[in-house]
A and B are shown apart, each in its own frame.
Chain A
Amino acid sequence: KAGVTQTPRYLIKTRGQQVTLSCSPISGHRSVSWYQQTPGQGLQFLFEYFSETQRNKGNFPGRFSGRQFSNSRSEMNVSTLELGDSALYLCASSSTGGFSYEQYFGPGTRLTVT
């Protein structure tokens, strides 16, 4: 079974631009979660989608948004990029997103904002 895939793997953007990242979950998984990883803040939860609905959201500004499609693929968008948005963005899929279910992570998208 193919793992979680994320595209692109690397991105360089300028302050003020917007960016869209894509995540394809493991086949059959309906829950997709997104995380931001930085050296200073560690791994922080952004949001989770299940069956095209956002069920949970972390403490990030409204510039961070996401969506999920009917095939469970998910995208996240960051508008008006700031230098502090430079990070590794990880998505993870789970069969249900329930608390006892493990999440499987993709390789991440490395975003650099200049």
Chain B
Amino acid sequence: GNSVTQMEGPVTLSEEAFLTINCTYTATGYPSLFWYVQYPGEGLQLLLKATKADDKGSNKGFEATYRKETTSFHLEKGSVQVSDSAVYFCALNAGGTSYGKLTFGQGTILTVHP
């Protein structure tokens, strides 16, 4: 079946540090890939997406590149801020008859200290 694996957390960084959160997936065919962020007490917000191999999604300084050869979609940011502290979820939609279904990784808690 389809699955998403994220790096174990929590991740703790100092402000202005470089961030990488690893995400790998297993899927038949060519899924669409997404990163979502969840702040305490809130729902999920779409951070970025990529729908085909070698696509790069970017938003608010975050980037991720769809790597089909390594089945990965790692999230990166060059300089994190305290306000980036949240839980980050990698997700895929496998296409075909997977209407409206996102398969999520387990989430990575990020804490950024001043």
Contact = CB atoms under 8 A, between A and B. Distances in A.
B100 A50 contact: yes
Given A42-B106, A43-B89, A107-B43, A102 B101 contact: no
A102 B49 contact: yes
Contacts of A108: 42-43
B49 A105 contact: no
B44 to A, nearest CB: 4
Contact of B101 (A42, A58, A105): A58
A48 B46 contact: no
A31 B100 contact: yes
Contact of A94 (B44, B100, B105): B100
Given A31-B100, A48-B101, A99 B43 contact: no
Interface of A is mostly: strand
B81 interface: no
A33 B102 contact: yes
Contacts of B105: 42
**Taking chain B's interface residues, is the majority helix, strand, or loop, or is none over half, making it mixed?**
loop
B99 A105 contact: no
Contacts, number: 73
Interface residues of A, number: 28
B83 interface: no
Interface string B50-92: 0100000000000000000000000000000000000001010
B104 A43 contact: yes
B34 interface: yes
B71 to A, nearest CB: 16
A62 interface: no
B26 to A, nearest CB: 16
Contact of B44 (A49, A50, A105): A105
Contacts of A61: none
B43 A105 contact: yes
B94 interface: yes
Contacts of B34: 102
B98 interface: yes
Interface of A: 4, 31-33, 35, 42-43, 45, 48-50, 55-56, 58, 90, 92, 94, 97-100, 102-108
